[in-house]
Structure 1
Amino acid sequence: MVDEEKLKILLIEYSAKDAETVLKILSRSGFQIDYLCVATADDLQAALKLLNWDVILSDYASPRLNACDVIKLIKNQGLDIPLIVASSDIGEEAAENIMALGAYDFMMKANLARLVPVIRRSLREVKNYQRFITAQAALQKSEVLFQAITSNLPGVVFQFQLGKNNQASFPYVSDASETLLGLSPQKLMSNPELFPELILSEDKESYRQLMMTSAEQLSTWNWEGCIQVKGDSDIKWVSLRATPRRMLDGAMLWDGIMINITRNKLTEREIARSREQLAELSSYLQKVKEQERARIAREIHDDIGGTLTAIKCELLPCMDKTARKLEFYQQKAKSIESLVDRVIDSTRRISLDLRPGILDCGIVAAVQWQAKEFSDRTGIVCRVSCDNDEISLDSDLAIAIFRVFQETLTNISKHANASRIQVKLVELEGLILLDVMDDGCGITEIDMEKQDSFGIRGMRERCLQLKGNFHISGESEKGTKVTILIPTGDPEYDSEQAHDLNSRFKEFSQSEPIKKRKQISRL
């Protein structure tokens, strides 16, 4: 409320006598007056700009500036100052008319007993109206902010109410319901039973139970389940989280948000599936490692160990003191030499199995050597195409590519029933591309998803460890294509480089595999 000690009052067309009467009445009521008397429209406009007046007292029927003109001037300037009209002689009809135009009150000059109460009431009304305007502006600002937040949230903001008779309703639903639920906010608020109809049958009971538990214990309502939008073949995973509060009438009201977590759920399943496959692959690799160790131990024991034992047996007769002819020692020397050559051959063979020495000559020579070895062993024609005679690679990367190539050839010999293979080894800008195509029976999706397809899993894992890409595809009776694309430099590359790698890999991997056996014969 305006401080009564400093009442600013503007008098319009008041005589000095009338003004003195008004000031005395106000002073006796405790007001300290700051006033100004004006008589023309120009003076009124200047006065309105001079101060923020608390009250305006105007004569009703002044010849130069009447009350109707005062109301128009106040409205034109967008001001809300209480206008109290006083008159010496005026009828009720005129009083009603001036009040309808916007005057706060009307009274007779001969009876100003109501002046102080009217001023006090006017000041209170102005104060209350200012508070109302401020609250309304804050409410509008809050509403705009709320709408901006809800429209940008990745989910549906809602209010859900459950009455005493378990009657459900949605007092509020944000616009995102159209995207997530396939229902407009108006439709869902008008027909709240439409939402439970979207929930899959196996999740409806958990939805209801968790809602009732939240209502009974006033605890947060957390629910995850699947919905299927009408006309949509895909099933969505949604997460609902809402906080309850009990209303005065006993109803329960939840304020919450519902978001689409389908991508997260699919990612979780894929991670779980990948972990399971990695565990199987790790177990398989451990088993293979133990088998390889057993094989190497067996070969060392049976082959090298047996040969060394034979050498020892040949040497024993030469160690005694029995006199023998020269021919005997010469024969033993030849026999021991033959046995030593056998040990050397066995050692070289085992060493090549562990790590082909040809890798020291570069990845191109290693791939060409492996292709020739494979052709000689299986009779399957294997042609290698490479633009460069030498590609400089890190030893770990070279071994990884070589092992992927070996595994690819092994799979072809076991399953493809192919007669020809085309191999492409290309060095690109910071990348190495290995492309292997055969003209066999063609791998299928079922073959690639088999639980025991550890060869494919192993190749894929090798490529992923090197931040590369692996792709295998095939068509029945039209062949299979294996493509790998691996960075040759620092594997810690940024997102733009990763996008470029994926784009280039997609370009190579989508090229058609061998369509006909005749095509390979021309290579």
Structure 2
Amino acid sequence: MINEEKLNILMIEDSEKDIDRVLQILSQGGFKIDCLCVSTAEALHDALMIRDWNVVLSDYDLPRLSAQEVLQVIKSKELDIPLIIISSHVGEEAAEHIMALGAYDFIMKSNLARLVPAIRRSLHEVENYQRFITTQTALQKSEALFQVITSNLPGVVFQFLLSGNHQASFPYVSDASETLLGLSPQMLMDRPELFPELILQEDKKTYHQLMITSAEQLSTWNWEGCIQVKGDSDIKWISLRATPRRVSDNATLWDGIMINITRNKLAEREIARSREQLAELSSYLQRVKEQERARIAREIHDDIGGTLTAIKCELFPCMDSTARKQEFYQQKAKSVESLVDRVIDSTRRISLDLRPGILDCGIVAAVQWQAKEFSDRNGIACKVSCEEDEISLDSDLAIAIFRVFQETLTNISKHANASRIQVKLIELEGLVLLEVIDNGRGITDIDMEKQDSFGIRGMRERCQQLKGNFHISGDKGKGTKVTILIPTGNPEYQSGHVNGLESGLERPVPLEAVKKKKKVSRL
């Protein structure tokens, strides 16, 4: 026979005549039969172990094996093999009972014409069932993978449906909605209006406008706005991005994700604020530079220039041919000497303002000298404590630390109203710690946040350029403490170049680490 379909049949039958008749009908039905007949439970167990069977044909009630027992054996082995009962003396109630237990079909031996269609139908259903199981398994794996992905995404994965009459719903929401929105997925799916209620009033208009535009043009829905979760005082920035597609009844379905971008927004604001402060500081420094140039120019013009003019005037009478007494020339010489001494003093003073020569003696000597100069000029006691006579530093680094110290003393004289200052300068395992404490009125947060607090801002920027740490704190009525901590082995300062933008990316040295190092060094 052409195109015969191979069929592995396990028969539970003890009548040779019935077996031959069944096999003949199946052969005529287009099957190429491979058949094994058994009639005991032991033989049934063995047969199910040695081969895969397409179908089991069983008599209803053999002396040593019933159809009900056959079903139990097949189920115990968790096999998906259709069982068809073939019998000649079973009533309708018994047939219904065995079908309820799991038999696929019940055929009377007197009507075997139904056998071939029944077998084909059972094979087809088994094949469909196996496909269903395979598809269901693949779907379960896909759903498990989807759940793993969505649970690890930093946001809420969702589906949003807008019907033709503008009714909104959430067919799906991931578990992250509880964390981001303070709403469980089920709450949001049951009451979709809860989400727009979280949006701040000033952002609701753009939310709805962009949603409608996306639905009309089938373009990506991009929206950023602020929400406030019920019971939470903080405001969150969220970013919503979803891709639309048209579904039935002119409805639009979006697949998208919502993520928390609060940290990014705060960082953007901080960057913008830092840039603004940097621009203000740069402008301030430029003004200070011009003012300093003007001051130096005035001093040179008024002081040195005036003195040199006076010297010229003293020398002018000595250049004519008029005969004069020796006392006249001696008086002129003394006057010129006095004026030259004044020029020397002015030159030294201007030079010290630009760069104190004491820095050539080291940072310790420079700090001690500046403290004494400050104390003599302002009448404020300034005590310097240093465990070492000298700290070896790169010249540029020493100048930077000295300038921060100068600016700190200037701020104290202007604002602190202090009577006593304690200065500590210490080297700790590659770090320089400068600590200045006064007993003045104590700086406040408001003072530090003032727009014109360029002194503090400049010191902080200088320390950041040195990859160091600047900290200032005040106790009202008790005083202010300024702490700077700078690495001594800064490669950028060793090479004589500092890039403020690049150094701003470096992490400053934590003060806690210094305190620990300080304790260890003292032990």
Tell me the TM-score normalised to structure 1 length.
Answer: 0.90
| Aligned 1:15-94 pairs, distance under 5 A | 15-94=15-94
Q: How far 1:396 sits from its partner (Å)?
A: 2.1
Q: Please, which moves more after superposition, 329-338 or 351-360?
A: 329-338
Unaligned ranges ≥5, structure 2: 493-501, 518-523
Equivalent residue, structure 2, for 1:520: none
Q: d(CA) in 2 for partners of 1:436 and 1:265?
A: 36
**Which whole-Å CA distance do the structure 2 matches of 1:432 and 1:4 have between them?**
94
- Contact residue 240 and residue 259 of structure 1 kept, 8 A: yes
Return the alpha-carbon distance in structure 2 between the equivalents of residues 439 and 503 of structure 1: 24
SS at match of 1:114: helix
For the 8 Å contact 1:367–1:402, the answer to whether it is kept is yes
Instruction: Tell me the distance in 1 between the aligned counterparts of 2:142 and 2:509.
Output: 45
Asked whether the equivalents of residues 466 and 491 of structure 1 are also in contact (C-alpha less than 8 Å), the reply is no
Query: Kindly, what percent of the aligned residue pairs are identical?
Result: 80
Instruction: Return the offset for 1:372.
Output: 0.2
Deviates further, 451-460 or 108-117: 108-117
Contact residue 358 and residue 369 of structure 2 kept, 8 A: yes
2:496 maps to what in 1?
none
Query: Could you tell me how far apart the structure 2 residues matched to 1:482 and 1:411 are?
Result: 11
1:112 is matched with 112
Q: Which amino acid aligns with 2:239?
A: S
Hey, what does 2:403 align to over in structure 1?
A: 403
Distance between the aligned counterparts of 1:46 and 1:315, measured in 2?
136
- Write out per-residue CA displacement over residues 385-418 of structure 1, whole angstroms, 9 at most, x where no aligned residue: 1122211222222111111110011011111111
Partners of 2:12 and 2:490 in 1: CA distance: 88
Letter in 2 for 1:266: L
Q: 1:363 to 1:371 in 2, by over 3 A?
A: same
**Cα offset for 1:223?**
1.1
TM-score when scaled to structure 2? 0.90
Shift of the alpha carbon at 1:460? Answer: 0.7
2:499 aligns to what? none
- Residue 243 of structure 1 is matched in structure 2 by 243
Q: 1:14 to 1:218 in 2, by over 3 A?
A: farther
Which moved further from structure 2: 62-71 or 470-479?
A: 470-479
Change (3 A) 1:5 1:500: farther
Deviation string 1:166-205 (CA, Å, 9 cap, x unpaired) is 2222222222222222222222222221211111111111
Q: Which residue of structure 2 aligns with residue 217 of structure 1?
A: 217
The answer to whether the Cα contact below 8 Å between 1:466 and 1:486 also exists between their aligned partners in 2 is yes
> Secondary structure of 1:233's partner?
coil
Helix, strand or coil at the partner of 2:450: coil
Shift of 1:145: 1.6
State whether residues 58 and 86 of structure 2, in contact with CA within 8 Å, keep that contact through their aligned partners in structure 1: yes
Judging changes above 3 Å, is the alpha-carbon distance between structure 1 residues 4 and 487 closer, same or farther for their aligned structure 2 residues? farther
Bigger shift: 377-386 or 102-111? 102-111
Determine whether 1:479 maps to 2:479: yes
**Pairing 1:270-349 to 2, within 5 Å after superposition:** 270-315=270-315, 330-349=330-349
**Alignment check: 8 A CA contact 2:466 2:490 kept:** no
Cα-to-partner distance string for 1:95-139 (whole Å, 9 max, x where unaligned): 111111111111122322111111111111111111111111112
8 Å CA contact retained: 1:437, 1:479: yes
Task: Give the drift of 1:249.
Answer: 2.4
Is 1:488 paired with 2:497? Answer: no
Q: What does 1:152-163 align with in structure 2 at a 5 Å threshold? A: 152-163=152-163
Letter paired with 1:128? N
Kindly state the Cα deviation for residue 24 of structure 1 after the two structures are TM-superposed: 2.5
Task: Look up the match of 2:134.
Answer: 134
Consecutive unaligned residues of structure 1, counting only runs of 5 or more, are 509-523
- Structure 1 position 57, deviation (Å): 1.2
1:383 corresponding residue in structure 2:
383
**C-alpha deviation, 1:14, in angstroms:** 4.6
What's the CA shift string for 1:138-177, capped at 9, x where partnerless? Answer: 1211222222222222222222222222222222222222
- One-letter amino acid of the counterpart of residue 407, structure 1: E
State the 1:341 CA deviation: 2.9
Question: Tell me, what secondary structure is at the counterpart of 2:347?
Answer: helix
TM-superposed CA distance for 1:310, in Å, is 4.1
What are the Cα deviations for residues 470-492 of structure 1, in whole angstroms up to 9, with x where unaligned? 12222332211111122222479
> What letter corresponds to residue 273 of structure 1 in structure 2?
R
Q: 2:498 aligns to what?
A: none
Q: Is 1:504 matched up with 2:513?
A: yes
Cα contact 2:469–2:484 (8 A) shared by 1? yes
Look up the SS of the partner of 2:250 in the other structure.
Answer: coil
Q: Does the aligned pair in 2 maintain the 1:467–1:491 contact within 8 Å?
A: no
